[in-house]
């Protein structure tokens, strides 16, 4: 199985880094990547179990919807960024078939190992790469589809990451961003209670880590909502950007094309 290591050093990105958000905290940009890495190093082994608990299994339906919206066909080349559990990569590989090429990537080694091992357990060998979405080690105009599920909000420079995703897309290719978003307003109060009370409790009981799931709840609130993310994708050069609200807007799929 090809393995590509192309992870950049966040300390070399800029000599004078600015400030950014890590949940509700304001931190140095160079520090965010390390903190996010610590979160996923901590939760990697329980990532799938917690996803099922947190979403009552609905994350599987959201990913199936994303696969259905991908337009991936036999023989296509697909890049799955922040691949986590490997669920999307597995589904993309089924769509692309034996003649296709599907890469599983993640900046975090622990998460990449979880995804790779799950794919092997399911009898699938895919090329994997540990790499930074803001500096993708792939050529221009290469992939028919790029996907990122629940990973964009953890990226320090989302505009750079979106621009990189567009760069590696072929003309006519699609970018799919599945991410937590802004829930329907009448449900905000109960959603906040669940996010800040139940999630950390679940995180402690199941993964032995309440703080990482408190960060998850905070990071969702700091992430751009549906309209702002749509505008960010358009500024990155993507066209015909569509938004599909799922779970009353708690999750949204954004789909844009490159022309």
pLDDT of residue 8: 45
Q: Nearest 5°: phi and psi at 146?
A: -125, 135
Q: Where are the strands (E) in the chain, listed by range?
A: 3-6, 19-22, 25-28, 77-81, 101-106, 128-131, 143-149, 169-180, 239-246, 251-257
Taking the chain (259 residues) in runs of 10, the rounded mean pLDDT of each run is: 48 55 73 70 71 89 97 98 92 98 95 93 96 96 97 94 98 98 97 95 88 90 96 98 98 98
User: Where are the chain's structural domains?
Assistant: 3-9+20-183+224-257, 185-216
pLDDT of residue 18: 83
pLDDT of residue 39: 67
pLDDT of residue 15: 38
Fold of 3-9+20-183+224-257: Rossmann fold (3.40.50)
CB neighbours of 23 closer than 8 A, spacing ≥ 6?
A: 214, 215, 217, 218, 219, 222
């Amino acid at each position: 199985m090809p393995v590509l290591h192309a992870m950049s050093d966040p300390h070399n990105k800029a000599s004078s880094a600015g400030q950014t958000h890590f949940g509700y905290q304001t931190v140095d940009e160079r520090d965010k990547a390390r903190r996010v890495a610590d979160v996923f190093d901590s939760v990697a082994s329980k990532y799938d179990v917690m996803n099922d608990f947190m979403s009552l299994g609905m994350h599987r339906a959201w990913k199936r919807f994303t696969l259905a919206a991908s337009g991936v066909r036999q023989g296509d080349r697909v890049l799955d960024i922040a691949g986590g559990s490997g669920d999307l990569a597995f589904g993309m590989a089924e769509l692309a078939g034996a003649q296709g090429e599907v890469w599983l990537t993640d900046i975090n080694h622990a998460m990449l190992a979880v995804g790779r091992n799950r794919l092997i357990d399911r009898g699938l060998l895919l090329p994997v790469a540990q790499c930074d979405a803001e500096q993708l080690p792939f050529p221009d105009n290469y992939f028919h589809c790029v996907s990122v599920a629940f990973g964009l909000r953890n990226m320090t420079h989302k505009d750079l990451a979106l621009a990189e995703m567009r760069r590696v897309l072929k003309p006519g290719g699609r970018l799919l961003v599945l991410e937590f978003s802004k829930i329907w307003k009448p449900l905000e109060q109960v959603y906040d209670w669940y996010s800040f009370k139940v999630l950390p409790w679940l995180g402690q009981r199941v993964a032995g880590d309440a703080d990482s799931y408190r960060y998850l709840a905070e990071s969702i609130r700091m992430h751009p909502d549906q309209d702002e993310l749509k505008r960010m994708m358009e500024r990155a050069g993507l066209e015909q950007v569509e938004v599909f609200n799922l779970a009353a807007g708690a999750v949204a799929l954004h789909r844009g094309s490159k022309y």
